[in-house]
Amino acid sequence: AKLTTTAASGGALPTVPGNPRTTQVGSRRVALAWDASTIAGGGNVAYEVSRNGVVIAATVTGTTYEDRGLNPSTAYTYAIRAK
């Protein structure tokens, strides 16, 4: 799986999530993980996870996500955005 990360725009901006990676890959699922983002002055950061340009999880509060129900032998591209 190809992973990219970005930070949201507007207001107090979180840092870009670091070190995106897959932690487990199965024929029908993939587990994603990344390093936490921070916001200047503190505050909570949530993440948005996209697969092939489509948001699949709008508000992830931790630094892991498991995507299930995938098609075997298919390439997927993931993006993680801090917000």
Report the pLDDT averaged over residues 57-61.
Answer: 96
How far apart, in whole angstroms, are the C-alpha atoms of residue 9 and residue 83? 8
pLDDT given for residue 45 in this prediction: 92
pLDDT given for residue 40 in this prediction: 82
Residues counted in the chain? 83
Contacts of residue 49, defined as CB under 8 A and 6 or more positions apart, other chains included, come to 32, 55, 56, 57, 60, 65, 67, 78, 79, 80
pTM: 0.85
- Could you report the per-residue pLDDT of 22-55, keeping only the tens digit for each? 999 998 999 999 999 998 878 889 999 999 999 9
